[in-house]
Amino acid sequence: MTNHVVLIGLDGGTFSTLDPLLDQGVMPFLKDFLASGVRGELTSVIPPLTPPGWTSLITGRSPGNHGIMDFFRFESPGSRYIRLVNSRDVRCETLWSIISRQGLKATVLNFPLMTPPRPISGYVVPGWAPWRYLRRLCFPQSLYEKIKTIPGFNLQELAMDLQLEGKAIEGTSKDEYEDWISFHIRREKQWFEILRYLMHEAPCELTAILFDGVDKLQHLLWPFIDPTYFPTHPSAWEQRIRELCLAYFRQLDGFIAEIVALAGPQASVFLASDHGFGPSTEVFYINAWLHREGYLEWASDAPTDSGEAGKLGLGTISRWAAMVGASHTTAYSLTPSSNGVHIAVAGRRGERGIEPHEYEPVRSRLVEQLYQFTDPSSGGQVVTRVWPREEAFPGKQMDWAPDLTLSIRDGGFVSILNSKVVLKPRPEVVGTHRPQGVFMAKGPGLRQGLALPALSIIDVAPTLLYCLDLPVPSDLEGRVAEQIFASAVLHQRPIRIGEPTSVPEAFPQGSESQEDKDGEAQVLERLKNLGYVE
Amino acid sequence: MDITHEQISADLEKIFHETMGDWEYSGEITPETRLFADLGLESIDIVALGGNIEGHYRRNFPFAQWLAQMRDQQVDDIRVKDVVQFLHDNLNASSDGESQ
């Protein structure tokens, strides 16, 4: 087998985007990689969202157990006010921690929820970190002094450019779109250069990097990436934007090729995504619907969507409870990213709400009404699936979850804003998440040219542990993807089940917790620009 | 033993100065210093300040709830002494539900 495993994360990677790029010759290395490797869809969690998705992938645990269900969570179990999640909220051990305890080292680049940093054996440069604080958020802190010596190192490009990202959503200037794509091309190169440096200078048994421009480009530029939506006779500008998108993926293919070469022929290389992608063509205003059905009473100052992707900042998020929390509110949605509905129960979070004994009948009626809601123009069902919390988030952390989680027909996220109409076509198609992500792998002992049935995202961690010749902790919910390995390998080296994982401390010694919310502020701004925060 | 206003003020001054390098503010910080008007912070920066404070005390504080209450009271700026009082109230109250 192998003593070196590489995990390349493609945030939002989806075969519906990648396959055309493979066919068109934009990603020739990945095409060859798949011809001699394995591929299959990777089923994400509920909801298919970056924080719960990646956390599930790197813990082998489900959101109901690791506790990350959204970008946000309540400040405390009894609070109605929300804040961004961070590494302290991850209540299960990560892959990097598991292998560290067993004497191996990991390099971890650009993964979310890595701040405040938790000590591991190896190196962490966290994702979602603002440039001003990245120095203090690296682990170990001395790592920053090393990576800043890399030729071309640009701290601000490495982290984020909030102004540029904001313009990409709010503005329509052609020049701004080009700058925005070019920025992400440069930014991915920054991450790649750090990876190359560390693979040369401090190789670890597990090397993991996340390229998140895949997600951003698809969110903002879906009509330029999806051939279905790209015009048959594009303007010169449209063609230029598409070419820039292709340049991003062409560069990514080159990075993958170089990473595989650096890892060497004895390494096992895995590519995976946290969720898939697809188009979104309409907006479902869940709180407006709850208001119409008599569950939600708006506060007098609750904003109404202007119909032009109006966005509200931190102030609105922190005071949202006040907007939907009038005394007669019995059900509300707090974040657009969760697709969740909370039921106000008397005594829970200080809400007046319904009496506890009314919970089940109210929830059942609400589910039924959600399913019955139809598009007034076509009669089509809008809400395609409603999960009660015990189905979506079984586990010790379930109490942090919304009471209901929705899937809507275009696969997108709900809007939590007020609106005169409950369902509205988007002025332009945008990209949004889908449950089916990607899984690709190649290496010694792995089967070749195999197309797999879908795996679960929680299977990745145990599969990587098996590749590293480590026992799989008994409490992981995922399983080793045995079907990707040659039968002789499994026979010679049976899967070993080991001791359960360790529950992480909320405030581990050696963490840099003081920088946590410095990063939170900028991350929140970034989410706003991506449309998760309205 | 309760933590005093003076101790919290000293802690807060230290936290401010650790972070001030990024703020480009060279004035003196007093209990009357206003976070928005004097330090030039925006509402999103208050979250950053909250993170520093939580890191210092190694526990969470209900900052979002506090800010919402300030808004409801139509407070248009936050003074350093307001932060000190908020921390005093929370540090000397039960810590139930704060640290997880």
CA distance A508 to A91: 12
Whether A33 contacts A440, CB under 8 Å: yes
Q: What is the pLDDT of residues A242-282, one digit of tens each?
A: 999 999 999 999 999 999 999 999 999 999 999 999 999 99
Q: Which of A449, A473, A446, A451 is nearest to A462 (CA)?
A: A473
Whether the per-residue pLDDT at A91 is higher than 60: the answer is: yes
Q: What is the pLDDT of residues A442-468, one digit of tens each?
A: 999 999 999 999 999 999 999 999 999
Q: What integer is the mean pLDDT of A338-364?
A: 93
Whether A105 contacts A206, CB under 8 Å: yes
Q: Which of A395, A388, A394 is nearest to A359 (CA)?
A: A388
CA dist A280 → A19, A32, A413, A429 (Å): 20, 31, 9, 6
Looking at the structure, tell me whether residues A406 and A453 fall in a common domain: no
| Tokens read off for A2 | 């192998």
Instruction: Name which residue leads in pLDDT, A528 or A480.
Output: A480
Which residue range forms the structural domain that includes residue A309? 282-426
Note which residues in 290-329 of chain A have CB less than 8 A from chain B.
Answer: 313-315, 317-319, 321-322
* Mean predicted lDDT score pLDDT of chain A: 88
Highest mean pLDDT: which of A87-91, A436-440, B40-44? A436-440
Residue at B100 is within a domain? no
Edge-to-edge strands, sheet with A331-332:
A331-332, A340-343, A404-408, A383-388
Residue at B75 is within a domain? yes
Whether the per-residue pLDDT at A401 is higher than 90: the answer is: yes
Residue that is last in its domain, among A365, A395, A426: A426
CA distance A324 to A321: 5
Q: Where residue A327 falls among pLDDT bands split at 50, 70, 90?
A: confident
- Give the CATH number of the domain where residue B76 resides: 1.10.1200.10
Give the chain B residue whose CA is nearest to the CA of A506.
B100
Alpha helices in A202-340 (DSSP H): 213-225, 236-263, 286-292, 314-324
* Closest Cα in chain B, distance from residue A66 (Å): 13
Q: Which of A479, A338, A347, A324 is nearest to A417 (CA)?
A: A324
Least confident of A4-13, A427-436, A482-491, A503-512: A503-512
CA distance A269 to A37: 10
* Closest Cα in chain B, distance from residue A228 (Å): 39
Give the chain A residue whose CA is nearest to the CA of B46.
A521
pTM of the predicted model as reported, rounded to 2 decimal places: 0.89
Instruction: Provide the CB-side half-sphere exposure for A399 (13 A, CA).
Output: 10
Residues of A in contact with B93 (CB under 8 A): none
Looking at the structure, tell me whether residues A342 and A373 fall in a common domain: yes
Looking at the structure, tell me whether residues A312 and A450 fall in a common domain: no
Looking at the structure, tell me whether residues A26 and A78 fall in a common domain: yes
What percent of chain A is modeled with pLDDT above 70?
Answer: 86
Q: Where residue A384 falls among pLDDT bands split at 50, 70, 90?
A: very high
Give the chain B residue whose CA is nearest to the CA of A503.
B100
Residue that is last in its domain, among A426, A455, A485: A426
3-state secondary structure at position A301: coil
Q: Where residue A514 falls among pLDDT bands split at 50, 70, 90?
A: very low
Q: Where residue A516 falls among pLDDT bands split at 50, 70, 90?
A: very low
Looking at the structure, tell me whether residues A462 and A326 fall in a common domain: no
Look up residue B98 and give its amino acid: E
Looking at the structure, tell me whether residues A414 and A445 fall in a common domain: no
Which residue range forms the structural domain that includes residue B40? 5-18+30-91
Q: Nearest CB to A516: which of B51, B59, B65?
A: B51
Binary contact (B62, A506; C-beta < 8 A): no
Q: What's residue A309's pLDDT?
A: 40
Preferred mutation among B47, B90, B100 to probe A, highest tally of A CBs within 10 A:
B47
Whether the per-residue pLDDT at A322 is higher than 60: the answer is: no
- Give the CATH number of the domain where residue A491 resides: 3.40.720.10
Binary contact (B44, A524; C-beta < 8 A): yes
Residues of A in contact with B97 (CB under 8 A): 76-79
CA dist A259 → A178, A193, A217, B70 (Å): 27, 10, 22, 51
Q: Is B31 on the interface with A (CB under 8 A)?
A: no
Q: What's residue A132's pLDDT?
A: 65
CA dist A313 → A94, A284, A531 (Å): 32, 20, 11
3-state secondary structure at position B95: coil
Backbone angles phi, psi at A92, to 5 degrees: -130, 155
- The total number of structural domains that make up chain B: 1
Highest mean pLDDT: which of A395-399, A427-431, B38-42, B96-100? A395-399
CA angle A49, A312, B56 (to 5 degrees): 75
- Give the CATH number of the domain where residue A292 resides: 3.30.1360
Quickly count: other Cβ atoms within 10 Å of residue A17's Cβ: 24
What percent of chain B is modeled with pLDDT above 70?
Answer: 78
- The total number of structural domains that make up chain A: 2
Residue at B23 is within a domain? no
Looking at the structure, tell me whether residues A63 and A42 fall in a common domain: yes
What percent of chain A is modeled with pLDDT above 90?
Answer: 70
Q: Nearest CB to A313: which of B44, B63, B64?
A: B44
Q: Is B97 on the interface with A (CB under 8 A)?
A: yes
Binary contact (A82, B18; C-beta < 8 A): no
Residue at B68 is within a domain? yes
Looking at the structure, tell me whether residues A196 and A310 fall in a common domain: no
Residues of B in contact with A76 (CB under 8 A): 60, 62, 97-98
Binary contact (A506, B43; C-beta < 8 A): no
CA distance A37 to A450: 6
CA distance A92 to A106: 17
Q: What's residue B58's pLDDT?
A: 87
Looking at the structure, tell me whether residues A9 and A63 fall in a common domain: yes
Residue at B11 is within a domain? yes
Q: Is B22 on the interface with A (CB under 8 A)?
A: yes
Q: What is the pLDDT of residues A403-432, one digit of tens each?
A: 999 999 988 899 888 899 999 998 888 899
Looking at the structure, tell me whether residues A522 and A374 fall in a common domain: no
Residue that is last in its domain, among A426, A451, A469: A426
Residues of B in contact with A303 (CB under 8 A): none
Q: Where residue B100 falls among pLDDT bands split at 50, 70, 90?
A: very low
Give the chain B residue whose CA is nearest to the CA of A87.
B100
Quickly count: other Cβ atoms within 10 Å of residue A347's Cβ: 11
Binary contact (A322, B68; C-beta < 8 A): yes
Q: Is A165 on the interface with B (CB under 8 A)?
A: no
Q: Which helix (H) or strand (E) holds A526?
A: helix A516-530
Looking at the structure, tell me whether residues A227 and A360 fall in a common domain: no
Q: Which of A317, A310, A341, A334 is nearest to A520 (CA)?
A: A317
Q: Which of A269, A313, A375 is nearest to A29 (CA)?
A: A269
Q: What is the pLDDT of residues A207-240, one digit of tens each?
A: 999 999 999 999 889 999 999 999 999 999 999 9
* Closest Cα in chain B, distance from residue A533 (Å): 13
Binary contact (A521, B71; C-beta < 8 A): no
* Closest Cα in chain B, distance from residue A471 (Å): 29
Give the chain A residue whose CA is nearest to the CA of B100.
A506
φ/ψ region of A272 (left if φ > 0, alpha if ψ in -120 to 50, else beta) reads beta
- ipTM of this predicted complex? 0.79
Whether the per-residue pLDDT at B24 is higher than 50: the answer is: yes
Note which residues in 1-20 of chain B have CB less than 8 A from chain A.
Answer: 15, 18-19
| Tokens read off for A113 | 């929820």
Looking at the structure, tell me whether residues A143 and A259 fall in a common domain: yes
* Closest Cα in chain A, distance from residue B2 (Å): 22
Q: Which of B49, B50, B48 is nearest to B59 (CA)?
A: B50
Please tell me chain A's helix, strand, coil percentages from 3-state DSSP, rounded to the nearest 5: 40, 20, 40
